[in-house]
Amino acid sequence: MLNSLTRRDLERHLNITKKFHQALQARRIQCEHQNADPMVWTSHRVMKWIRDIDLKEFAEGLLNSGVHGAVMVLDPTFNTDSMATALGIPNNKHMVRRHLVEEMKTLIGPASPKARGGRDLSCHGSCGSLPREVRDRTPPRAEASPIRGYTSIEVTNV
């Protein structure tokens, strides 16, 4: 549906103006070669970051996954276990998962709701998969959430 929207539709219904879009693009350019401001990262920029943190063998797992910076920062259900699953990191690769936990805390910590008293980015203590009872208690997304209708990491690329 997004491909069929005109510039006028974007401005009128979604309040996306040329000025806003240019500001967003400027933020993306500023963080292209530094690991900052993940909120504006595309999925390809997230893949570059994965390669930068020495997980290049898993980076291609993010192709067509819908994982981009806004999902990483804003989705309250997205954590390092979600990222590890999207990357295809097996549960028995504890050291790789622990490395991902630390790198995501460094990257997203300052930008995430956790820094303002929100969610925890990490997996459970053993850095393996989240136990089913924890997953089952995940709070529902807020009614006003733009991604309320989606589950897990099925949000599309931006």
Mean pLDDT of the 69-87 span = 94
In degrees, to the nearest 5, what angle opens at C-alpha 40 toward C-alphas 65 and 63? 20
Closest CA to 134 of 82, 99, 92: 82
Number of domains into which the chain is organized? 1
pLDDT given at position 68? 94
CATH number of the domain to which 75 belongs:
1.10.150.50
Phi/psi of residue 12, each to 5°? -75, -50
CB-based contact 112:121 (threshold 8 Å): yes
Q: Tell me: the pLDDT tens digits for 39-63?
A: 999 999 999 999 999 999 999 999 9
Is 60 exceeded by the pLDDT of residue 74? yes
Domain range holding 100? 7-112
What is the DSSP secondary structure assignment for residue 40, as one 8-state letter? Answer: G
Q: CA-to-CA distance for 116 and 131, rounded, in angstroms?
A: 26
Q: Is residue 120 part of a domain?
A: no
Q: Is residue 154 part of a domain?
A: no
Q: Is residue 128 part of a domain?
A: no
Q: Tell me: the pLDDT tens digits for 101-136?
A: 999 999 987 665 544 444 555 544 433 444 445 445
